[in-house]
Amino acid sequence: MTGILSANASDPSFEQVMEKLMSIASEEARVLETDGSNLPQVHAYNCLKDIFKNSMLTAMGNKSEKYLPRCLELAASGLRSEVWAIRNCGLIFLRSLIDCLFGSQESRAMTEAGWDGKANRIAYYRYPNLPPVLRNLLKSGHQMLSQTGAAVSAAESVFPALDIIRRAGPPELLRDEIQVDVAMYLSSPVWHVRELAARTLCSCLLHERWIQTLKDVLQDALLSQGSNRQNHVHGVLLTLRFVIERLHEVAADRLMGMCNTEALLNLANSTPADLPELTLFFTQSSIDTDFPYCPDIAAAYFEVVNQIWAFENANSKPLSPFKVTIPANMGSALLRNQRAIHDVYIASSENNSVERLRTLLLDQRVGIDSLVTALETLPKLWEGSSTSEQTLIRLCGFYIDICLKTGLVEAQVVAVRNLGEIIDQLLCRGNVDTLPTRPLVELWIALASRPMSPALSNAVIRASGCIVAVLRKSPGAPSVGVQNWGRMMADAGLEDKTLDTRLAAIGSLRSFFAVAGPSCTSDEYLPALLALYDALNDDDDEVRDVGSTAVNGIIGEALVPLEAANCLLRWLAQHFGNSSGFKAEVAGRMVGHYGIKTLGASSWEPAEDGLAKAMEVDDSLFAVEEQNLFIDEVREAKRWVGVFESLGWDGGDETLARLDSWIKGGIVQLGKLAEREDGPLGWASNPQVFAICTLLVRGSAAMAKQQGATPGLREAIARTKEALRSRNAGVSRLLTAAWEEEEQ
């Protein structure tokens, strides 16, 4: 169908095709009439979906834009069909329409956050029929809200309208009407519908009158009658929590009532503080006492209070004096978690707060979910430079006790993660001597002897860098094997490890080198330094960015990852030029071995065997993609050959002799390839073969410059050059440039 339309014929015209397809898709189908295997509606939906996604049709002039509102209604009606195949196609079609409105390049965080209260993210003037369509979709499900099964169907049919308004903001033309229609879904008996409606209503309330609107909505919910009264109150509480959270992110001055410079001279221009008014109204509403046996409402009430306290704590304000009545029914896990957060805030506001937390959370009656939730909340209470050194040290001891005294792996994960963050803060302040070294050693030994989950392993890897840095700097602390720790980081950073593990490893290296700095010039630091270099070649840009900040701690200069890798290699060559271990590593990199996959020259695969394997034809049905697509073998060969040339080599060096032997075997095999096979259309067009040959050519040229090449290697180089010239192989100069430079 898209192929026919791309012909841009006058008959059938684009308009005729669209009208016919929408007519077919809108025909009703029943389960009793078909098994769903041969439905014209399904094909019509799929054709419409492709028309909106087809780039060729868009380039010819986007004629489909004017049909978008009608197709939105069509997709929503498909979601209400009895036939699963139509519902599925309607959902896929809906996804395509929403991508047309917002684009498909948004990050997940931006998609989930919703509208920020500023300019609408959809130019509603381009779709004049869209606001009425959104309102009609919202109204279509109102009559089905009272029944659970019907409410689910209503949610499916109004999902497109709610999602579009949540992400783009409400259209100004029908803002008030749409706000009322969305608020009606807060009383739905289905939790998911209430939450979606609450998030959408939050996008409608990012204006100056939000607090009065929420007051009215909450009063209506409290005065409502019937079985949906509790659901209605719960939906309003969810909305209140989302509004406070969103305003905290995008308009904190609206809550705090901050004044600008001009307002200091004219108080009429100051922004009034909404938070005190909200707090007063919220405490007077007595929701916690009116619903003592509803755990969902109690949990939502606690969540609003906790959200207000989180905002006040982040802005260094005293906590509002809420007195929440503890409900009789604490069977809800969500309620217990919110109660744990509430108790943590109360404990943190009292004198001797860390000891209060110790008493609260080391109680054996605290459940695992509540303990984990409380521990995840603690970093929000003590963050930044305002926290005193003594408080941070007490928190270190508290987290160590949590790890040692609980067998709950989930709690240990969060405690170790929080401990590492606090030690990083203290190290940034230069307070190493005050840290409790003996408990840290006890914790390190205890964790090593316990069973490890993947999450706990990553947390330990992440915290190990700052712990090792503390133990290395603290006088009287037991010695720590930095070399073994560096090998552990190198193993955790290998390309076959998960992203979480690699991020933990590079974060640990950053913490360590932020303290150790440029003084890491002995051989024991070499594994960690090489692990840092490998992280700069990681496939994930986040790992590379963290790695570049770690290099900044060594060389004292902020650089992008590519340049950071070059500078780190020059720094290594300067400080480890006489190290036999570093020379062995350079030789290993020159033969294409990276990381800790090989432990010495004895494990090098002969170059001729590597060439033979690379020449093998892979007839697998599905090609296996490399795990790291960022590594450029030619770039790596240039880097390490440059390091090789900058070092001083002894003619009798055993490593140099093995490198000579490895290169000679490969050069001989390369000459044989040049004699019997075509280059550009044969072996030279194979990326794996080209990479190995680059190592051989550049390595042999470097050996010749260093006067380290044996007569056998020089003879092999001469024969291979002659073979390439005699057959006029036409091999790219990218491969032979090193030899040409040597001749010049």
Considering the domain architecture, whether residues 612 and 731 belong to the same structural domain is answered as: yes
**Considering 338, 366, 381, which residue would you say is the last residue of a domain?**
381
Give the containing element (helix H, strand E) for 513: helix 499-516
Question: Are 657 and 736 in the same domain?
Answer: yes
pTM for the model? 0.82
The residue among 535, 538, 430 whose CA lies nearest residue 486 is 535
User: Could you tell me if residue 667 is inside a domain?
Assistant: yes
3-state helix, strand, coil in the chain (%, to 5): 70, 0, 30
With respect to residue 662, please indicate whether it lies within any of the assigned structural domains.
yes
Q: Is residue 245 located within the same domain as residue 340?
A: no
Cα separation, 254 vs 272, whole angstroms: 7
Going by pLDDT thresholds of 50, 70 and 90, the confidence category of residue 340 is very high
- Positive/negative CA dihedral, 556, 560, 563, 569: positive
User: With 60 as the cut, is the pLDDT of residue 600 above it?
Assistant: no
327 occurs within a structural domain:
yes
99 Cα distance to chain centroid: 21
CB 102 within 8 A of CB 168: yes
**Residue 265 pLDDT class (50, 70, 90 cuts):** very low
Residue 419 corresponds to which tokens in the numbers above? 């401990």
Sign of CA dihedral 705, 581, 526, 456: positive
Q: Are residues 189 and 317 in the same domain?
A: no
Of residues 456 and 729, more confidence is placed in 456
CA distance 25 to 45: 6
Decide if 315 contacts 252 (C-beta within 8 A): yes
CA distances from 582 to 324, 520, 642 (A): 64, 14, 14
Cα 699 from chain centre:
39
- Name the 3-class secondary structure at 7: coil
Q: What is the pLDDT of residue 261?
A: 36
- Token pair in block for residue 237: 């509480």
Give the Cα separation of 255 and 733 in Å (integer): 66
Task: Indicate if the pLDDT at residue 269 is higher than 50.
Answer: no
One domain for residues 643 and 735: yes
645/716 same-domain check? yes
Phi (first) and psi of residue 259, to 5 degrees: -110, 145
> What is the domain range of residue 710?
605-743
The total number of structural domains in the chain stands at 4
Taken in order 235, 240, 241, 246, the sign of the CA dihedral is positive
Task: Give CA–CA dist 278/375, Å, rounded.
Answer: 28
C-alpha to C-alpha distance for 166 and 380, rounded to whole angstroms: 27
Give mean pLDDT, residues 441-453. 87
Instruction: Look at residue 617 in the predicted model and tell me its pLDDT.
Output: 81
365 and 278 within one domain: no
Domain boundary at 381, 408, 427, which? 381
Output DSSP code: residue 386: T
pLDDT tens-digit readout, 86-142: 888 988 998 888 888 888 777 777 888 888 888 888 888 888 888 888 888 888 877
Round to whole Å and give the CA distance between 726 and 721: 9
Q: Which of 170, 152, 148 is nearest to 161 (CA)?
A: 170
Check whether residue 198 and residue 232 sit in a common domain: yes
Domain assignment of residue 440, yes or no: no
Helices (H), 291-332: 295-314
3-state secondary structure of 272: coil
pLDDT at 387: 79
Lowest mean pLDDT among 76-85, 363-372, 382-391, 523-532: 382-391
pLDDT band at 23 (very low <50, low <70, confident <90, very high): very high
- Residue 338 maps to a domain: yes
For residue 517, what pLDDT is reported?
A: 86
Give the model's pLDDT for residue 109.
78
End-to-end CA distance of the chain: 62
Using CA atoms, how far apart are residues 271 and 314, in angstroms rounded to an integer? 19
CA distance 607 to 616: 15
Please check whether residue 545 lies inside any domain of the structure. no
Residues 101 and 238 in one domain: no
Burial of residue 534 (number of CB atoms within 10 Å: 0-12, 13-18, 19+) = buried
For the CA atoms of the chain, what is the radius of gyration? Answer: 33
DSSP label at residue 601: G
Among 363, 381, 399, the domain-final residue is: 381
pLDDT of residue 262: 40
Tokens of 413: 């994960």
**In this predicted structure, what is the pLDDT of residue 270?**
44
The answer on pLDDT for 148 being more than 70 is no
Q: pLDDT per residue over 680-716, tens digit each?
A: 666 777 888 888 999 999 999 999 887 778 899 999 9
Q: Percent of the chain beyond pLDDT 90?
A: 38
Please check whether residues 154 and 281 belong to one and the same domain.
Answer: yes
Q: How many whole angstroms separate alpha carbon 83 and alpha carbon 41?
A: 10
The label of the residue with tokens 């294409």 reads: 592
CA distance 245 to 236: 14
- In the numeric block, which tokens belong to residue 491? 């193993």
Would 425 be classed as within a structural domain?
no
Q: Distance between CA atoms of 342 and 319, rounded to whole angstroms?
A: 11
**What angle, 0 to 180 degrees and rounded to 10, lies between the N-to-C axes of helices 389-405 and 437-448?**
30
CB 223 within 8 Å of CB 190: no
pLDDT 10s digits, 318-333: 888 888 887 777 778 8
Q: Which residue has 């689910």 as its token pair?
A: 152
Indicate the Cα dihedral angle 452, 458, 462, 464, nearest 10°: 20
Reported as a single tens digit per residue, the pLDDT across 177-218 is: 999 999 999 988 888 889 999 999 999 998 888 999 999 999
* Torsion angle defined by CA atoms of residues 8, 11, 16 and 20, in that order, rounded to the nearest 10 degrees: -110
DSSP summary character for residue 327: P
Please tell me the predicted confidence (pLDDT) of residue 677: 65
